[in-house]
Structure 1
Amino acid sequence: MARSINPARVDFVTLRLFCAVAQSGSITKGAEACHLALSAASRRLSDFEGTTGSKLLERSAQGIALTPAGHVAMQHAMRLFQGFEQFSSELGDYASGVRGHVRLWANMSALTEFLPAALATFLERHPDIRVEVEEQLSGDIVRALVDGLADVGVFAENTPAYGLDIAPFQTDELVVLCARQHPLARLKRVDFKTCLAYEFVGLNRSSSLLELTSRAAEQAGIPMRLRVQVRSFDAMCHMIAAGLGIGVVPLAACSAQVSVLELKVVRLKDPWAVRRLMMATKTGERLSAAAGLLVGHLAGLSEADKGAARPSRRRAAGA
């Protein structure tokens, strides 16, 4: 049976000291950072290890290093600090007259294409609500929702999303971008298999878009040759314009760059090129009034765009 740790025996001063020692590799430096005497710091660390029942720090002539158990403790300690800072920030908002706080995590496509205008109208209607927006990869958004770090998430479909209630949000069209002198530039439409004859500019690893195109290449039986990987659609457009490869991007996300950089848009024939974005919250989690208002606002925009009734929520076994 796993040993249970008494939370009353773990305080924030000790956790902050532990993190400072781990980050600096020195008990002396960690004690100084936390304004503690060296002897008091050493005693706190020993008591902390005794409380957890695990050796967390490896001491040697080269300094202090984390043990495997120490790495786990470090991750949880940082998460606790993040939660406490969020707690402090949100209560501070109420004290200053801001009566609602929503944490919205969304992928790059949603933030570039749909959310700026949607958030502008929402905040105009609800000026007493603060929306904290973070751009993250789809998989990280799901984990944040499950862990309670985000209230509302928007991510690409087909992202595994166990434990979440999801609903369709918006639809975007993926197209191929290429420089005007590229062989594909003379085409209006192309299948992705034909594109695999050329080198690609792609997003960083773990992005849902890269996973989608890589899976399509695997199904076609042709390896996808990634020449350059970047972190944004803007950077992708510049790399493509420089002739470093072609790229698959959401059309609306790069429409402004197409004319400026003289890029050519070639539409994809493949069915997966029409992609849905999903909105999600944690299953069984009661939303705050502010988060509920935001979800209703975003769902209303989705309903208006589709000209249909608002989709009912469903429990996801996978988005």
Structure 2
Amino acid sequence: MARTINPARIDFVTLRLFCAVAQSGSITKGAEACHLALSAASRRLSDFESATGSKLLERSAQGIALTPAGHVAMQHAMRLFQGFEQFSSELGDYAAGVRGHVRLWANMSALTEFLPAALATFLERHPDIRVEVEEQLSGDIVRALVDGLADVGVFAENTPAYGLDIAPFQTDELVVLCARQHPLARLKRVDFKTCLAYEFVGLNRSSSLLELTSRAAEQAGVPMRLRVQVRSFDAMCHMIAAGLGVGVVPLAACSAQVSVLDLRVVRLKDAWAVRRLLMATRTGEALSPATGLLLRHLAASGDDHRPGAERAAASTAERPRGA
């Protein structure tokens, strides 16, 4: 039977000391960072290891290193600190008169295309609610929801999402962007396999969009040649305009850059180019009133028509080559 740790034997001062020692590699430096005497710090660390029943720190002439059990303890300690900071922040909001707090994690597509307008109207209607927004990868958003680090998540479909209650949020269209002198620029529609004859500009950090296009390339049996990888759609647009490759991007996310950088929009014939964005909460989670209000507002925003993006795409797709 696994040993149960008595929480009464572990306090935040000891956890903070443990993290400081692990990060600095020195008990002396860790004690100084926590304003503790060296003897008191050593006693706290010994008591901490005794309470967990595991050796957490490896002591040597070179300093202090974490054992495998110590790495696990470090991860949980950091999660506890993050939770306490959120706890403090949210209670502080209530004390300041902010009566609701929602942690919203979303991927880049949702934050660029849909959420700014939706959040603006929500906060206008509910000024007493604070929405804390964080951009993350779709897979990280799912893990944050499961771990309780986020209240609401918005991510791309086909992301494994066990243990969550999921609802549709929006649909975005993926298109190919290219410079006006590129061979694809004269086309209005193209299949992705044809695009694979050219070099690509893509996102990095294993984004859901990069995973989607990489998977499509595998299914087509043609490798996707990534020449440049960047961190944002704006950076992608500038690299594409410089002639470094073509890129697959959400239509509305780059509509402003299309005319400014004189890019060409080519619609994709592939069915996967129209993808859904989903919103989710943890299954069985008791939603706060503020979270419930935000979810209903996002659901009501639905798949709205985006005339500005449509006009931008039409004007660039139909513009004569070289114009």
Change (3 A) 1:147 1:316: farther
TM-score (norm 2): 0.93
Q: Which residue of structure 1 lines up, in the alignment, with residue 71 of structure 2?
A: 71
Which whole-Å deviations, capped at 9, do the CAs of 1:278-297 have from their partners, x for residues lacking one? Answer: 01111111100000000011
In 2 relative to 1, CA 266–282 (structure 1 residues): closer, same or farther, beyond 3 Å? Answer: same
Q: 1:248 to 1:173 in 2, by over 3 A?
A: same
Q: Is the 8 A contact 1:166 1:316 kept in 2?
A: no
- Kept in 1: contact 2:255–2:313 (CA 8 A): no
**How much does 1:205 deviate?**
2.8
Following superposition, the deviation at residue 314 of structure 1 comes to 41
Q: Deviations over 1:189-241 (max 9, x none)?
A: 11111111111111113211011001101111111111111111111111111
> Is the alpha carbon distance of 1:261 and 1:112 closer, same or farther for their aligned partners in structure 2, counting shifts above 3 Å?
same
* 1:79-134 deviation line (CA, Å, top 9, x unaligned): 00000000000000001100000111110000100000100100111010000000
Report the CA distance shift for 1:312/1:67 in structure 2 as closer, same or farther (over 3 A): farther
Q: More deviation in 86-95 or 221-230?
A: 221-230
Instruction: Name the SS of the counterpart of 1:97 in structure 2.
Output: coil
- Describe the SS at the equivalent of 1:2: coil
Q: 1:136 to 1:254 in 2, by over 3 A?
A: same
Structure 1 residues 312 and 6, CA, compared in 2 at 3 Å: closer, same or farther? farther
Unaligned runs of 5+ in 2: 307-311
Distance in 1, Cα, partners of 2:190 & 2:184 = 8
1:269–1:292: structure 2 CA closer, same or farther, 3 Å change rule?
same
Cα contact 2:188–2:318 (8 A) shared by 1 = no
State the distance in 1 between where 2:262 and 2:200 align. Answer: 18
Q: Tell me the residue number matched to 1:315.
A: 319
RMSD of aligned alpha carbons: 7.4
Q: Is the 8 A contact 2:171 2:303 kept in 1?
A: no
Conserved? CA contact 1:18–1:45, under 8 Å: yes
Once the two structures are aligned, what percentage of the paired residues are identical? 90
Identify unmatched segments of 5+ residues in structure 1.
none
1: distance between equivalents of 2:314 and 2:169? 10
The answer to whether the 8 A contact 1:199-1:226 is kept is: yes
* Shift, 1:315, TM fit: 45
For residue 176 of structure 1, what is the aligned residue in structure 2? 176
TM-score by length of 1: 0.94
How many residues matched? 318
**Structure 1 residues 43 and 310: CA distance shift in structure 2, 3 A:** farther
In the TM superposition, what is the alpha-carbon distance from 1:162 to its structure 2 partner?
A: 0.3
Q: Is 1:24–1:30's contact at 8 Å kept on the other side of the alignment? A: yes
Superposition deviation, residue 46 in structure 1: 1.2
Say if 1:21 and 1:314 are closer, same or farther in 2 by CA, change over 3 A: farther
**Contact 1:165–1:315 under 8 Å retained in 2:** no
Q: Deviations over 1:260-293 (max 9, x none)?
A: 1111111100000001100111111110000000
CA contact (8 A) 2:157 2:276 kept: yes
Contact 2:139–2:160, Cα closer than 8 Å, also in 1:
yes
Counterpart mapping for 1:34-183 below 5 A:
34-183=34-183
